[in-house]
Structure 1
Amino acid sequence: MLDTSNHIHVSSVLNRPSIAQHGLDWARMGAAPGIAGSRRPEVEGIFLCRGAEEAEFFLQINNTRGPVDLCSVDGINEGLLLDNGNGFAYLPGRIPAGRVRLVRSGVPPQRGY
C-alpha cells in the first residue's frame, strides 16, 4: 500500500537516473514516453496523483511499454496544482530531487484500460 500523505508521480524506470540527479523536470522528458504514451510533455509541469487510487489508474494506463516507478513527492501546496482539463493535477514547474523519494520500483505493465 502506498503512503498517501504525499503526492505520487508515476514514471518509466528509464527516467530513474535523471530523476535522481535532476528531480522531476518536464523539460528533460525523452528517455521514455509519458504514462499516457506521449512523446512530448503534455503540460509545462509535473503530473501528480493525489492518492493511491489515482496512482493505480496511472499504473493501469501505462503506455511506456515497460516497468514504471512510483515516487512520493514532499511539500506540495495543493493550491498550486492545476487541472490539465481531464481532471488530473499537475504542478507547473520542476520539483527538486530532494523532494522526491522512490516508493515502488519496476512495477510491470498492467492489463487494464
Structure 2
Amino acid sequence: MGAAPGIAGSRRPEQEGCFLAADEWERDWFIQMNNTGGAVDVWEVHGINADDLIQSPEGHYFFPAVIPATELRLIQRDLPPGRRG
C-alpha cells in the first residue's frame, strides 16, 4: 500500500495492525470499501491465533503486529473495484 491514503483519505492507520476478514461476507465488504479505485489482491493468512486478534471499535478484527510473508498466500489477484471475491 505504501503511501496510498487509507479510509476517507486518512494518512494514519485506523488501527496499528492488519485487519483480517473472518468470512467471505467481510472479505467482500473490505474489497468494496477499496477507495483507491484500483485493483485489489486477496491474501490468505496462516499461523495467526484467533486469541491474538483485537476487535476494533467498529467491530472488525485486526492483528496488532506485522504478519510475516511466510504466513501469506495470494489467492486472488487484481480484482476490479466493486467486485466481490
Length-normalised TM-score, structure 2: 0.85
What's 1:102 paired with?
74
Per the TM alignment, residue 69 of structure 1 is displaced from its structure 2 partner at its CA by: 0.4
1:88 and 2:60 aligned: yes
Gaps of 5+ in 2: none
Which TM-score applies when normalising by structure 1? 0.66
* SS of aligned partner of 1:104: strand
Once residues 44 and 88 of structure 1 are traced to their aligned partners in structure 2, the CA distance between those partners, rounded to angstroms, is 13
Amino acid at match of 1:89: Y
Map Cα deviations across residues 41-69 of structure 1 (whole Å, 9 max, x no partner).
11111110011111011111111221110
| Stretches of structure 1 lacking an aligned partner (at least 5 in a row) | 1-14, 16-28
Deviation readout 1:12-70 (Å, 9 max, x if unpaired): xxx4xxxxxxxxxxxxx42x233x34332111111100111110111111112211100
Match of 2:5 in 1: 33
Q: What is the total number of aligned residue pairs between the two structures? A: 82
RMSD of Structure 2 on Structure 1 (CA): 1.6
CA distance in 2, matches of 1:80, 1:61: 25
Q: Which residue of 1 aligns with 2:20?
A: 48
- Identify the match of residue 66 of structure 1 among 12, 23, 38: 38
